[in-house]
Amino acid sequence: MTDQPVPTGLRGLPIRSRYRSSVGDVVQDFYVPMFQVATSYSRAVGYFTSTSLALYARGLETFAERGGTMRLIASPQLTEDDLLDIERGYDLRAVLSRATERVLEAEEHPAVLDGLGLLGRLIAEGRLDIKLAFVNRQGHIGIYHEKLGIFRDAVGDLVAFTGSSNETHGGLAANFESVEVYRGWIDGDGVRAINLEEDFEQLWTDQTPGLSIEDFPDVARERLINLGQERTNVLSAQDDALATSATPADEAARLAIPDWLTVRGYQRDAIEAWLGNRGRGILKMATGTGKTKTSMVAATKLAGVLQQREEPLVILILAPLQHLVDQWLSEVEGFGLRPIPVYESSQRWLPMVEEQLAQSRLGQRPVVAMVATNASFAGAKFQAILSRITQPMLVIADEAHNLGSSRYRSALPANATYRLALSATPERWFDDEGTDSLIEYFGPIMYELGLGTAIEMGALCRYVYRPRLVELNDGETQLYVDLSAQIAACIANGEELKDADPNSPLGQLLRKRSGVLGHAAGKLGMLRDDLANRSDAWFQLVYCAEGTRPAPAGEPPGPNQLREVMDVAGNQLGLAAHSYISETPRADRKTLLRRFGTGDDLRLLVAMRCLDEGVDIPDARIGYLLASSSNPRQFIQRRGRLLRRADGKVHAEILDYLAVPPDGAPVNFELERRLLARELERANEFGKLAENYEATLELLRPLKDRYQLMHL
């Protein structure tokens, strides 16, 4: 009797027809053995993320060492704007390229970058190819969400499978998953396996009705290849890289204070005060004193207490803008946890949120962290999720004053056990009701650290303050006088200056009058001289007035101040300058801040509002304030941007351009006195903590004397 040969390759594996999380580990029992013997892998999955690609890198390492090849089809992460652009006829390749670059550019985690670098080398070697799929029916674009895969080995044996998992860390390692498997050499399975392979081939060659398949964008491909050349600290080979990625959720989702972080005494006091109030309250701490890290240490302490009780914790961090969400994501990762970004299309974040909350309910994930923009947080889809959360929940509100508006305060979850608000200025300007609602929800101010104290203790750097008085020209003075007369008429009719609704006739007049001051033409000449005197200095910021220069009724608006400043700095003085505005793409913003921080590339960032809240630019040393703002929050935020500590930074310099009507202008003295008082309050607030307070008082003395404001 002749001995039968021992099966090898795929046929030699003890492959079951079904794998399910309830009876084993899908990764260890199915994926790992497949990669150990297969020579090709074809996979179509629901969505493409940088972390899913990094996971492929880990799973492909030993597979690739044996010459294995892979084809991947995935759905790009298209935002609602991307979908609209495609439907409106914009260049499809350009939109896909933009979307793919956005995903890759947003990734900064070193381990993921190492994984992406390995992918780049596989692409460069011709062993990995990626295509993008999306639904395209009658001009309407949708998300491709099919999941199938095919393994083949050296002798041509075939294993095909379908299943619920995306190839992400969550999909493969943390979810409850099931996979249906069809072996090509088994009766009954063979036809199904071949059918799935044919389905994939039709996908790959773009022959599937209702779907569009596009090549991976060249720019993104080059970025991966470049990463492959740049990343020298590649993921080390391990016995089984997929097993490495499959860390149990209860081990991977814990908070820990990083070794490099030293918790300062005042931060410890703030945390103890908040915990002592049963995890509720407001931290009113000066910009730049580390509110973010203080809150993360507080969350870590709270999670530790709950862990001892075997209770999970859901952390919801709210921030007003997307770039602040991005900064929070990095901060939370520094504490050992990978949070879910909640903004843009819900198709991107909704599956991850549902997945991790389900794990939390089952006791598989001790901490879930989500970071949301205020807008996404208040949306119907996220609100529906929040209403179903029964686990202990901590809400951390960054720049919490923004949540005092009627829209946002009504969305704050009543089921949040713990609540922490962060703001240098929690009091809402001319909105006592909004301020009261914040205190009612979050609790009282539990700890306060003012700017003066922060400077004295060395948490912020010292600064000099140089007010620049600029007189309005004749045309500006006439417009200013006309607006002041209209403002006086409104007040005479019973409207209150202090409580003016921004959208009321009085509020609009006040805003236009402020625009005359902010856009005063004389500021540009003075700014030009100041920039010329500091042309060799790095780390300079200019804050421009919003919009365009106001003009009398019936005349076109004047020029845009930001463009004028860019002309002065770049064209006239030859300084390396760049604008930083709301229209600047997020990826470009990161690049600009990186260039600015090197101290050998960009000397000057010219901003309009976008550097007010939360942007971390500690290297900034010189600030030019052209915008006229009596809103204390705005000028406190701008000053805070300049006072953060940085290596080699001894002090900061703030130049504040204050426009005033010329002496003798025919204005209502009492009204002008009241309006000017608000402007001088800012100057006094800036000056009193500066190193040169006496010089500030001396410069402002004539103006104060003219309007009988010496008490300010």
The answer to whether residues 231 and 57 touch, using CB atoms and an 8 Å cutoff, is no
pLDDT at 170: 40
Token pair for residue 27?
């990764």
- Name the nearest CA neighbour of 126 among 69, 72, 74: 69
CATH architecture of the domain 9-247 equals 2-Layer Sandwich (3.30)
How wide is the angle at C-alpha 540 spanned by C-alphas 603 and 325, nearest 5°? 100
Coil, helix or strand at residue 102: helix
Q: How many CB atoms lie within 10 A of CB 139?
A: 9
Instruction: Report how far residue 231's alpha carbon sits from residue 140's, in angstroms, rounded to the nearest whole number.
Output: 40
User: What's at 635, amino acid-wise?
Assistant: F
Q: The dihedral of CA 356, 360, 365, 370: what is its sign?
A: positive
The answer to whether residues 368 and 356 touch, using CB atoms and an 8 Å cutoff, is yes
Q: How many CB atoms lie within 10 A of CB 239?
A: 8
pLDDT at 107: 55
Strands in 651-660's sheet, in edge-to-edge order, are 462-471, 651-660, 622-625, 540-543, 604-607, 577-580
Instruction: Report how far residue 335's alpha carbon sits from residue 340's, in angstroms, rounded to the nearest whole number.
Output: 14
Instruction: Report how far residue 120's alpha carbon sits from residue 229's, in angstroms, rounded to the nearest whole number.
Output: 8
Instruction: Report how far residue 412's alpha carbon sits from residue 378's, in angstroms, rounded to the nearest whole number.
Output: 8
Q: How many CB atoms lie within 10 A of CB 162?
A: 17
The answer to whether residues 461 and 644 touch, using CB atoms and an 8 Å cutoff, is yes
Coil, helix or strand at residue 37: helix
Strands in 340-342's sheet, in edge-to-edge order, are 340-342, 367-373, 313-319, 393-397, 418-423, 280-285, 445-449
201-235 as b/e: b if 16+ CB within 10 A: eebbeeebeebbbeebbeebbebbbebbeebeeeb
Q: Helix, strand, coil: what percent of the chain each, to 5? A: 45, 20, 35
pLDDT tens-digit map of 60-115: 666 777 788 889 888 776 666 666 667 666 677 777 777 777 666 655 555 556 66
Query: What is the maximum span of the chain, computed from C-alpha positions, in angstroms?
Result: 120
Residue 152's DSSP bridge partners are 40, 158
> Is 462-706 CATH 3.30.70.1400?
no
User: What's at 374, amino acid-wise?
Assistant: N
Top CATH class, 251-456: alpha beta
pLDDT at 166: 44
Instruction: Report how far residue 492's alpha carbon sits from residue 146's, in angstroms, rounded to the nearest whole number.
Output: 68
Task: Write down the domain spans for the chain.
Answer: 9-247, 251-456, 462-706
Instruction: Report how far residue 337's alpha carbon sits from residue 320's, in angstroms, rounded to the nearest whole number.
Output: 22
User: What's at 107, amino acid-wise?
Assistant: E
Instruction: Report how far residue 644's alpha carbon sits from residue 289's, in angstroms, rounded to the nearest whole number.
Output: 8
- Name the nearest CA neighbour of 541 among 550, 529, 531: 531
pLDDT at 239: 30
User: What's at 460, amino acid-wise?
Assistant: L
Instruction: Report how far residue 467's alpha carbon sits from residue 278's, in angstroms, rounded to the nearest whole number.
Output: 45
Q: How many residues does the chain have?
A: 712
Instruction: Report how far residue 6's alpha carbon sits from residue 546's, in angstroms, rounded to the nearest whole number.
Output: 77
Q: The dihedral of CA 171, 174, 180, 186: what is its sign?
A: positive
- Please report where in the chains the tokens 């931290």 appear, as a residue: 283
Residues of the chain with pLDDT under 50: 1, 57, 166-176, 232-252
Report strand pairing: 280-285 vs 462-471.
Answer: unpaired
Instruction: Report how far residue 186's alpha carbon sits from residue 184's, in angstroms, rounded to the nearest whole number.
Output: 6
Ramachandran quadrant class, 67 (left: phi over 0; alpha: psi -120 to 50; beta: rest): left
User: What's at 131, amino acid-wise?
Assistant: K
- Please report where in the chains the tokens 């060492």 appear, as a residue: 65
Cβ neighbors of 704 (< 8 A, separation 6 or more) are 680, 710, 712
Phi, psi of 479 (to 5 degrees): -65, -40
User: What's at 593, amino acid-wise?
Assistant: L
Instruction: Report how far residue 685's alpha carbon sits from residue 693's, in angstroms, rounded to the nearest whole number.
Output: 10
The answer to whether residues 159 and 184 touch, using CB atoms and an 8 Å cutoff, is yes
Q: How many CB atoms lie within 10 A of CB 512?
A: 16
Cβ neighbors of 618 (< 8 A, separation 6 or more) are 288, 644, 645, 646, 649
251-456 and 462-706, same CATH topology: yes
- Name the nearest CA neighbour of 315 among 381, 245, 398, 379: 398
Phi, psi of 44 (to 5 degrees): -120, 125
